[in-house]
Amino acid sequence: MARRPRGYGLSAEISKKISDKYDVVIEREAREWIETLIGRPLSENGGDLGVDGMHAVLKDGVLLCQVMNCLQPGSVKKINETRMAFKQMENISNFLQAAEKYGCSKTDMFQTVDLYEKTNMVQVVNAIHALGRMAQKNGFDGPVLGPKESHQNKRDFSLETLRAGNSVIGLQAGSNKGASQSGMNLGKTRAILD
């Protein structure tokens, strides 16, 4: 891992904001889902991992590739078990490509550096949740993570229904039920006479 200088000024504020968003409850849900999928615990004590523990478990990308292969067998063809940095980053990249092919939005995913250098573990955990939602949407019958994603509910209204709606003025459209501004004086002083 590259030695990054400690941030100062705006970059330090941004790093602090990102790290403050890390939620142990969301991490626990993601960890338990992964453990159920692969059939073994991620930590010896079974407790929350925290940012450092989650990073240590996921950093090489092997576990993420195994999760992807549980959801869609053969989606990650080669999982590198070596400790070389570029091979670990290749594992992470292979996972991200497989998740995108599985249906996850690119905006829900993270960048390789976010996980490998521990710059944005919040996004990594959120990406695992996005993968869990997509698994439900794709009909995976295993463990469930998070709420089910909504489906498009496209509606086609007839032309006469649309025209009937044009004659109704909603209160949000500026109707004031007949009130007017007559008698209002803005900018003038109020004269009080005895």
| Segments making up each domain of the chain, as ranges | 15-137
* Better pLDDT: 7 or 142: 142
Contact at 8 Å (CB) between 58 and 124?
A: yes
d(CA 100, CA 124): 14
Is residue 1 over pLDDT 60?
Answer: no
Tokens of 49: 């991992």
Count other Cβ atoms within 10 Å, centred on residue 23.
Answer: 12
Q: Which CATH architecture has domain 15-137?
A: Orthogonal Bundle (1.10)
Residue 12 is predicted with a pLDDT of: 78
Contact at 8 Å (CB) between 115 and 95?
A: no
Is residue 157 over pLDDT 60?
Answer: yes
Residue 68 is predicted with a pLDDT of: 92
Is residue 3 over pLDDT 70?
Answer: no
Residue 125: its H or E element: helix 121-137
Tokens of 166: 């044009």
Question: What letter does residue 173 receive in the DSSP assignment?
Answer: G
pLDDT in tens, 165-176: 887 766 665 656
Residue 65 is predicted with a pLDDT of: 92
Residue 119 is predicted with a pLDDT of: 84
Contact at 8 Å (CB) between 91 and 61?
A: yes
Residues whose CB is less than 8 angstroms from the CB of residue 28 and which lie 6 or more positions away in sequence, other chains included: 48
pLDDT in tens, 5-28: 667 788 778 777 777 777 788 888
> At residue 38, what is the residue type?
I
Is residue 140 over pLDDT 90?
Answer: no
pLDDT in tens, 21-71: 777 888 888 888 999 998 888 877 666 777 788 888 888 889 999 999 999
Contact at 8 Å (CB) between 120 and 114?
A: yes
Residues whose CB is less than 8 angstroms from the CB of residue 101 and which lie 6 or more positions away in sequence, other chains included: 75
Average pLDDT over residues 76-88: 89
